[in-house]
Chains A and B, each alone.
Chain A
Amino acid sequence: MDFITQPWAWYVAGPMIAVILLLMNYFGRGFGVSTNLETFCTIGGAGKASDYFKKDWKAQTWSLLFVVGIIVGGYISARYLMTAEAIALNPKTVSELAALGFENAGQSYVPSEIFSTENIFSLKGFAILIGAGFMVGFGSRYAGGCTSGHAITGLSSLQLPSLLAVIGFFAGGLIMTWFLIPLLF
């Protein structure tokens, strides 16, 4: 049982993610998450605004169920499979974050400075949450995939567009982490 409740090391998680890719392909589908965001739009009636969304969303049922599964997997983990232990972050990360005003880094999975429920009701907090989401959604669809579709599937099948996209992912991430987060907090 120790293995289940302890955090999993990279050399356990990485290969298991590759097994997810294997299973999806074995069952005749690709490994990817962000296409579901477009399916949400189609279900919400976006086909009235643009032909781009005029698709048969029922053909995406398998992918929507994959997302439902991800939520359930998160619930099972949080409810039954986790220890109360802090995340073993680099102490340097913890002290740098403290200097930015993020207290208790690693004591929970996400910082209350961004994800507390009060933040939903403050202008700045809401803008950060919705803005971050907007960039993820817009960027992944423009680039043609997210971490699963580009970084894992695309890189492993040696596709140049995915290499370019992953370079972009890191460029954007570095700009945000090194320059913008210190301005925002």
Chain B
Amino acid sequence: MKNVKFLVIGVLFGIILSKSEVVSWYRIYEMFKFQSFHMFGIIGSAVVISMVFMQLFKNGRIKNFKGENIITKEKKKGLIRTVVGGTIFGLGWALAGACPGPMFVLVGHGITAILIVILGATIGAFVYGLLSNKLPN
């Protein structure tokens, strides 16, 4: 039951992504064509305001619900992993017009074909898992 709050946060996130049209394939296309500020504004302002929160986490002004300091997990390092992995992700993002969050939103919109995209993404994660100790970092 203590995890139900994450379901509620998810509902809110799904509504935000829908109402701001982030889940629209067309908005992603328009972003990569630099024909609108919309997506850049969303990602940019989310990052800038998150930076303020991160700062408040770091200096202990905002603590978690248990009153402990919030520590952000460090991302795995590696030039090849991030750039090559990121580029492959970007190719898929622009073609599907959806990154993982929006994919699930579109399930809620009743777009049947997105289930095939999610199946592909799961297979992609599976193949990564199989190869993870053979791929360069």
Distance in angstroms between the alpha carbons of A77 and B109 in the assembled complex? 8
Question: Majority SS of interface residues in chain A?
Answer: helix
The contact string, 1 if C-beta is below 8 Å from chain A, for chain B 105-137, is 111111111101111111111111110110100
The A-contacting residues of B in range 20-75, CB under 8 angstroms, are 20-33, 35-51, 53-54, 57, 62, 64-66, 70, 72-75
8 A Cβ contacts from B55-104 to A: 57, 62, 64-66, 70, 72-79, 81-101, 103-104
Q: Smallest distance from the beta carbon of A34 to chain B beta carbons, Å? A: 5
Q: Sort chain B's interface into a size bin.
A: 35 or more
Cross-chain pair count, CB within 8 angstroms = 505
Chain A residues with CB under 8 Å of B93's CB are 135-136, 147, 169, 172-173, 176
A128–B88 touching, CB < 8 Å:
no
Contact A166 B86 (CB under 8 A): yes
The residue of chain B having its C-beta at the shortest distance from the C-beta of A141 within the complex is B128
Assess whether A101 is interfacial by the CB under 8 Å rule: no
Jot down 6 A-B pairs with beta carbons below 8 A, ordered by A: A27-B6, A49-B130, A66-B7, A76-B108, A152-B46, A168-B84
Residues of chain A within 8 A of B112, CB atoms compared: 117, 120
Other A-B contacts than A139-B124, A151-B47, 7 sampled, CB-CB below 8 A, are A61-B3, A78-B18, A90-B35, A138-B124, A140-B121, A150-B75, A171-B86
